[in-house]
Amino acid sequence: MTQDTRGSKDPDGTAHCRVDIHIESKGDVHIHACCAEDKTPTEPECPRDCPPPRTEGACIPLGLGCKPKQSRATKLERLRSRSSVPSALAASFFQTARRHLAGASAANDFEAAVFPVFAAMSPSVRGVLACAVDSYETTPADLRDAGLDPSILADPAKPVDTATLTAAVVREITLRAAEAAFGDVTALEERPGRNRFFDPGGEFFEAQLQICRVNDLRTSSHRPPIPLGDRLPGEIQQSCTLILGSDGVIRQNCSVQTGNCPGNQLPDEVCARVPDIANGDSVMLSGVNFMNIDMKVRLKARVGAGAAEVDAHVFGDLTTPLNEVVGGQTVLIRDCRVKDQASFVVPDDLPPGIYELQLAMPNTTGFPIFGPTVLSNSEFINIVPPATARFQIVAERMRAREETSPQSFGSDEVALTFLAAELLADGSTGSLQKLTKRFGDVDSGENRTIDQPVFIQALPALGMAMSVVGFEVDSERAFREQLNDFQDAFVDYLSRAWDKLKEALTAGAGAAIKALGFIKGAIAIAIAAVIGIAIIAVIARWAPADLIMDDAIGFSVIELAELTNVDVPTGGITTHQSPQDLEVVVTPLDKTALTYREFREYVADDEDSRYEVYLRYNRIA
């Protein structure tokens, strides 16, 4: 960018200043012009503040001197590329808003529930709503439906009804649950893995149908073998207590169980972890040679007569090559780099206890030597009654490890929203629990206290789902109230819409997912993702806001019980990608009796930012 400033005068001697600006850029460019400070007495009075500039496509002006924002087109392009499943809830918001703005009366019970949100808006916020709808309408066709379910928006005059929206959201939850459980939305349809069997030609004691992981815990028979020192704490059976250190700090102290193992044994007689699984919960398996979708799971109690054979939902790995060249020879890839996957549901009627788990697959390998049924290695699970405990999650604080770039433009203004819901035993969800926080003047290294509950379990539940969404939002002080009021109104819309849909959509999605054997944590993550993407898809069209935090958190009650159980060792640092492809780094902090703490770091490469949210999980009953 170059600037050429030249002076000139009119014939009457009036001075003028011309500025020629030459810009070469492939990205977004923001130019902030303001009124001159030096004025002659004859000049008209100039307002103290110039009209604030707008980011292209935004309905709330950007604050003068604030950090530049991504354009609407940039945000929508990223939304389109990062959204594997479009949002039905966000689409329903635009459809009901444009009908309301057009003067339509509520046509059904759903519109009667959400229209009051629009009617209660102040004139200025209603203007933002009209701008948001116009923003959708005027978006180029190739980006108009980015992140939105187009079927809901196809006819501008068609009312949104509960049954249609429920069906769309059930499908969205189901697809997102498949993605959360198997890493692929296409996993709703079973598919066999590749045939990696070979004729052993003599004595060969290693199972070729191999289980490498049980609920993401690497098994004792993992190939290649894992040295004991490289095992994660959660993969080893341990007994833990709390001790008071000489520094006055209470810490968790764990001892490894050796000998008399409840399941398999690792080197040095160390016991492999036997995970707790509740009746009715699902188990995820990963391994090699899951090449027949008629595969079954056999369960047999170590003590007593408990036994069952149940169907497995198989989703084979078609990505890992069949062969590789080693030492000039072509050999099969048949170790745990292969990630064939299967899930199954633990029967409700099996008595509690330790169970041996084995896969049984019809022999279609082409090698009769394996007999009519091929069996896998044996692993173990501990079947426990469904948990009756209750939990609370508290957001303790937010920390800006690195504020958004460029830091020279000033501090960040952060809008942070938590939305959470219980997964109830009847397949429905509780109402959305919501907390919104705004923090101004946030600089790198600074903390902001929250110290408020973001989830409280009030009823017996199967699990919880929570969405965390954070934006960096700059706005002129005069427009800040509009921005806050509009976002609050949209969260209110989501809550009212969810209350209309919650029983039908979760019962429908829960039944479909349970039949496929998806874990409850995956269902919870799917619901959290559905809520989060609705916020992101709407805000991308009306506010000068850039996404800096995004997370879909889901736990079953059994998982929450383990997190807050001092007898279970604290896990290590984990990393995953958020629904909008931000990097999320989860770091455990400490455990005390009935309490677990962690922080989640959100790395937004688009903004060069790193924000952290500190959470405390409390078992309250």
Task: Measure the CA–CA gap between 364 and 373, rounded to whole angstroms.
Answer: 9
Place of tokens 């009935």: 594
Q: Which residues contact 251 (CB under 8 A, 6 or more apart)?
A: 242, 243, 245, 590
Q: What would the two tokens of residue 381 be?
A: 């699970």
Work out how many domains the chain is built from and give that number: 1
The model's pLDDT over 288-326, given as tens digits with 9 standing for 90+, comes to 999 999 999 999 999 999 999 999 999 999 999 999 999
What pLDDT, on the 0 to 100 scale, is given for residue 587? 97
Q: Which of 98-112, 472-486, 554-568 is the least confident region?
A: 472-486
**Exposed/middle/buried for residue 81 (C-beta within 10 Å: 0-12, 13-18, 19+):** exposed
Long-range contacts of 405-411 (CB under 8 A, 24+ apart): 405/67, 405/607, 405/608, 405/609, 406/67, 407/443, 407/444, 409/65, 409/66, 409/67, 409/68, 410/65, 410/66, 410/67, 411/440, 411/441, 411/442, 411/443
Find the largest Cα–Cα distance for the chain. Answer: 107
**Exposed/middle/buried for residue 331 (C-beta within 10 Å: 0-12, 13-18, 19+):** exposed
- Residue 139 maps to a domain: no
Q: Are 55 and 475 in contact (CB under 8 A)?
A: no
Q: What would the two tokens of residue 592 be?
A: 């005390």
Pairing of strands 379-384, 276-278: parallel
- Residue 197 maps to a domain: no
Establish how many alpha carbons lie within 13 A of residue 108's alpha carbon, considering only the half-sphere containing its beta carbon.
13
Task: Measure the CA–CA gap between 211 and 232, rounded to whole angstroms.
Answer: 18
- Residue 244 maps to a domain: yes
End-to-end CA distance of the chain: 62
Place of tokens 């098994």: 219
DSSP for residue 570: P
Q: Which of 150-164, 323-337, 537-551, 603-617 is the least confident region?
A: 537-551
What pLDDT, on the 0 to 100 scale, is given for residue 416? 94
Residue 492: name the closest of 116, 195, 65, 176 by CA. Answer: 116
Residue 359: name the closest of 374, 381, 345, 340 by CA. Answer: 374
Task: Measure the CA–CA gap between 506 and 169, rounded to whole angstroms.
Answer: 9
What pLDDT, on the 0 to 100 scale, is given for residue 20? 53
**Percentage of the chain lying above the pLDDT 90 cut:** 62
**Percentage of the chain lying above the pLDDT 70 cut:** 85
**pLDDT grade for 219, boundaries at 50, 70 and 90:** very high
The model's pLDDT over 580-620, given as tens digits with 9 standing for 90+, comes to 999 999 999 999 889 999 999 999 998 999 999 999 999 99
What pLDDT, on the 0 to 100 scale, is given for residue 315? 97
Answer yes or no: is pLDDT of 8 > 90.
no
**pLDDT grade for 542, boundaries at 50, 70 and 90:** confident
3-state helix, strand, coil in the chain (%, to 5): 25, 35, 40
Collapse the DSSP code of 612 into the 3-class scheme (helix H, G, I; strand E, B; otherwise coil) and give the result: strand
- Residue 253 maps to a domain: yes
Establish how many alpha carbons lie within 13 A of residue 267's alpha carbon, considering only the half-sphere containing its beta carbon.
8
Task: Measure the CA–CA gap between 459 and 422, rounded to whole angstroms.
Answer: 8
What pLDDT, on the 0 to 100 scale, is given for residue 67? 64
Q: Mean per-residue pLDDT for 551-580?
A: 92
What pLDDT, on the 0 to 100 scale, is given for residue 58? 62
Answer yes or no: is pLDDT of 340 > 60.
yes
Q: Mean per-residue pLDDT for 397-403?
A: 97
Answer yes or no: is pLDDT of 122 > 70.
yes
**pLDDT grade for 548, boundaries at 50, 70 and 90:** very high
Q: Which of 38-47, 135-144, 406-415 is the least confident region?
A: 38-47
What pLDDT, on the 0 to 100 scale, is given for residue 200? 84
Residue 368: which domain range? Answer: 210-384
Answer yes or no: is pLDDT of 508 > 90.
no
Q: Are 164 and 87 in contact (CB under 8 A)?
A: no
- Residue 468 maps to a domain: no
Task: Measure the CA–CA gap between 138 and 98, rounded to whole angstroms.
Answer: 13
If you write DSSP's letter for every residue of 115-158 in order, what string do you get? HHHHHTS-HHHHHHHHHHHHHHHTS-HHHHTTTB-HHHHSSTTP
- Residue 563 maps to a domain: no
**Exposed/middle/buried for residue 123 (C-beta within 10 Å: 0-12, 13-18, 19+):** exposed
Task: Measure the CA–CA gap between 403 and 608, rounded to whole angstroms.
Answer: 8
The model's pLDDT over 516-529, given as tens digits with 9 standing for 90+, comes to 667 788 889 999 99
**Exposed/middle/buried for residue 55 (C-beta within 10 Å: 0-12, 13-18, 19+):** buried
What pLDDT, on the 0 to 100 scale, is given for residue 456? 97
Q: What is the mean pLDDT of the chain?
A: 86
How many CB atoms sit inside 10 A of residue 406's CB?
10
Q: What would the two tokens of residue 221 be?
A: 């028979």
The model's pLDDT over 228-281, given as tens digits with 9 standing for 90+, comes to 999 998 999 998 988 888 888 888 889 999 999 999 999 999 999 999 999 988
Indicate the Cα dihedral angle 400, 401, 405, 411, nearest 10°. Answer: 30
Q: Are 417 and 469 in contact (CB under 8 A)?
A: yes
- Residue 239 maps to a domain: yes
Residue 515: name the closest of 358, 344, 353, 398 by CA. Answer: 344
What is the H or E stretch that residue 178 is in?
helix 162-182
**pLDDT grade for 2, boundaries at 50, 70 and 90:** very low
- Residue 542 maps to a domain: no
